[in-house]
Amino acid sequence: MKVLITGSNGLLGQKLVKYCQNNGVDFLATSSGDNRNPELNSRKYRTLDITDPNSVVELVNYSKPTHIINTAAITNVDACEDDFELCQDVNVEAVQSLFDTCKSNNIHFQHLSTDFVFDGVKGNYSENDEVNPLSVYAKSKVSSENILRKSDYHNWSIVRTIIVFGAGHSLSRSNIVLWARDALINGQVLTIVNDQFRAPTWADDLAKGCMLILEKNKKGIYHIGGPKTFSVYELVQKIAQFKNLSDSCVMPVSSGQLSQKAPRPPKTGFNLSKARIELGYAPISFEESLKVLEFELNSEKYNS
């Protein structure tokens, strides 16, 4: 098995690189700019613009992967409302190009998707539940999923996930756990939504789930998320409690009081039964992940 990873400078991309290195999996990491991961040997990295089909074909012909994991995406939900064209180019058209290349070379294509494909009316979604996207971003993810789902080529997997968090190197975007942790330490006043419910996903667990699909030669849709769903407000309270900090500066607010351009599903969370049974997926608790995160943030590699 040789895995080509897109978006390797992102949090999940870095965790996939870490998994491959720790488990002896051959891989090639790619991202749109220079490598930002000091733990990645430069010989294992190539710059790739996934919106350029010719570049995709050239790199695949050069590297000859057996699997491609596509983590690259425009994930800023509100920004997608402002720039529909960019969202489509990266989240849909580039996926079509990658998938076509996989079809031509009999490569397994794994595509990362999101809980936002659902409308959030009922929560605890299984892989068989009907999608109903609310935002431009969510619609782009449904469109990209349909490229795979409606194809006569079946050598693919879709991994849907929720609020991915963890420590990484020179990330272009933070994640809510790191942001809230730093803000709480600095005593900042935080206005946090209390009527949106999510199951935050430890990035290392997600990376392992993605790789288990490949290692077990599975296909289809898998929900890979955190083990417990709670409100974003409660999430921040849990971080404050873990850090022994006061949460008096955390102000709850309803979604209707926020000026968010893109609509969000009120309640998601996943039924993880399929992943647990077929993959042996066993995510750690949110509290346990906070312990590991704290250890990582205090280690030399993230403070050098």
Return d(Cα 144, Cα 89) in angstroms, integer. 11
* Average pLDDT over every residue of 52-81: 96
Q: Which residue has the higher pLDDT, 260 or 97?
A: 97
pLDDT for the residue numbered 174: 81
Lowest mean pLDDT among 3-17, 97-111, 135-149, 243-257: 243-257
* Average pLDDT over every residue of 73-89: 95
* Average pLDDT over every residue of 184-196: 94
pLDDT for the residue numbered 299: 81
Amino acid at 254: S
Percent of the chain with pLDDT over 90: 92
Helix, coil or strand: residue 231: strand
Q: 185: Cβ–Cβ under 8 A, 6 or more apart, which residues? A: 243, 245
pLDDT tens sequence across 126-148 = 999 999 999 999 999 999 999 99
Q: Is residue 117 part of a domain?
A: yes
pLDDT tens sequence across 282-302 = 999 999 999 999 999 988 666
Q: Are the beta carbons of 106 and 154 closer than 8 angstroms? A: no
Q: Is residue 112 part of a domain?
A: yes
The secondary structure of 236-294, three-state, reads HHHHHHHCCCCCCCEEEECHHHCCCCCCCCCECCECCHHHHHHHCCCCCCHHHHHHHHH
Q: Is residue 231 part of a domain?
A: no
Q: Is residue 92 part of a domain?
A: yes
Q: How many domains does the chain have?
A: 1
Asked if pLDDT for residue 96 goes beyond 50, the answer is: yes
Q: Is residue 124 part of a domain?
A: yes
Mean pLDDT of the chain: 95
Q: Is residue 249 part of a domain?
A: no
Q: Is residue 57 part of a domain?
A: yes
Q: 240: Cβ–Cβ under 8 A, 6 or more apart, which residues? A: 184, 246, 247, 250
Element (H, E) at 145: helix 136-149
Q: Are the beta carbons of 70 and 109 closer than 8 angstroms? A: yes
Q: Domain range holding 10?
A: 2-171+201-225+268-284
Q: Are the beta carbons of 195 and 255 closer than 8 angstroms? A: yes
pLDDT for the residue numbered 304: 43
Q: Is residue 37 part of a domain?
A: yes
State CA 286 to chain mean position distance: 16
Domain CATH number, residue 117: 3.40.50.720
Element (H, E) at 166: none
